[in-house]
Amino acid sequence: MIAEILVGCGIGYNLLALAGALKFRRKLVVPDFTPPVSILKPVRGRDPQFFEAIRSHSVQQYPQFELIFGAAPNDPAREDIERLQRDFPALAIQVLDSTSDAPNGKVGSLEILAAAARYDVLLVNDSDIVVEPDYLKRVIGLLADPGVGIVTCLYRGRGASIPSKAEALGIATEFAPSVLVARLVASGGFALGSTMAFRVADLHAIGGFAAIREYLADDYQLGARIGRVAMSDVVVETNLGAGTWLDVWKHQVRWSRTIRVSRTAGYFGYVVTQLSFWCLFANWPFAVAGLAVRLLTASFYTEAKLLPFVPFRDLFGFAVWAAGMTGNTVEWRGIKYKLSANGKMVSTQYNPLRS
């Protein structure tokens, strides 16, 4: 009986995810608002397709912007950044030594980059994000509304191995629906590291990046503190590389534990999202109905040819969710950390991140 109840809850959740997808597909009318923008990009190491990612930011159809990278002096990514400077001599591109003693090295880097920014609007995204030429215009335009504090974007993954392709499928059919459901049932939602655009004045009002330098989930903290999060209709892309199953497992468990300590109630509420798993234990009419609804919803988030793999990826996702319910250690960029109950991080092997 419990399995049938959870299947029923899972069906309800998936119908909300379907409604979220339909709402998201409506094209937004973006105001013609194009203030100068400083794009801040902390870098640590050369991600797969790194040059493709940073080049996509250099060809933006936008009046005025600058690119500020933060990297350690010996970071191999500097070679690609220098190539970008040569290819786009008319664009303001600089790279700074962003070595920091902040527990979250990425945020420590952002502190340094923000101090060098010339403009009153900042955009932060991960170093491996690939964007379309109208990205800035469609994201920054939403800041024309003074009621918007921060603009964020969904993202899709691109994998080069079977494990990383499975992770990309999970991003599309598990993570993206959870974001859109959150926006349906709560005001504002939360910010994602794939894109965070905001005003310098609002950053200063929360104490700057220094206020979140101890937190692993810096994107969640920034969105929660600035508040008034708007979702652009742009979907950016991240390259997941050719990771192994162990790589994917570590990444997903880190992500899960981070969510648990940041949004504990929401994390345990994910029990209703595990529809494919509960279908294994329900009476067959419930199981068939549950699986049908799950695949229908997934069809709005991924390609039809991938639908047969969704239930299997869901079972992997259940294992990750279960693992994330306990434990307080995570591994990030080769360094192990302990997470406190409020999401702060402490390195177990001191070695400042140079993000």
Q: Which of 322, 276, 272 is nearest to 298 (CA)?
A: 276
Dihedral, 41, 42, 46, 52 alpha carbons, nearest 10? -10
DSSP assignments along 24-64, one per residue: HTSPP--------EEEEEE--S--TTHHHHHHHHHT---SS
Angle (CA) 119 123 128, round 5°: 135
Distance CA 241, CA 86 (A): 26
Using the structure block, give the residue that is written with the tokens 């494919």: 276
**pLDDT at position 333:** 62
Domain ranges of the chain: 2-23+252-339
The predicted-structure confidence for 117-133, as pLDDT tens digits, reads as follows: 999 999 999 889 999 99
Euclidean distance between CA atoms 147 and 31, whole angstroms: 14
| Beta bridge mates, 150 | 198, 229
Digit-coded pLDDT (tens) for 35-86? 999 999 999 888 778 999 999 999 999 999 999 999 999 999 999 999 999 9
pLDDT in tens, 265-303: 888 888 999 999 999 999 999 999 999 999 999 999 999
What spatial distance separates the first Cα and last Cα of the chain, rounded to whole Å?
49
pLDDT digits (tens, 9 = 90+) for 155-202: 999 998 999 999 999 999 999 999 999 888 876 667 899 999 999 999
The string of DSSP codes covering 85-136 is: HHH-TTSEEEEEE-----SSHHHHHHHHHHHH--SSEEEE--TTEE--TTHH
Give the other-Cβ count within 10 Å of 31's Cβ. 12
pLDDT tens, position by position, 294-345 = 999 999 999 999 999 999 999 999 999 999 888 877 766 666 777 776 677 7
Q: Provide the pLDDT for residue 263.
A: 79
Lookup result for tokens 């945020």: 107
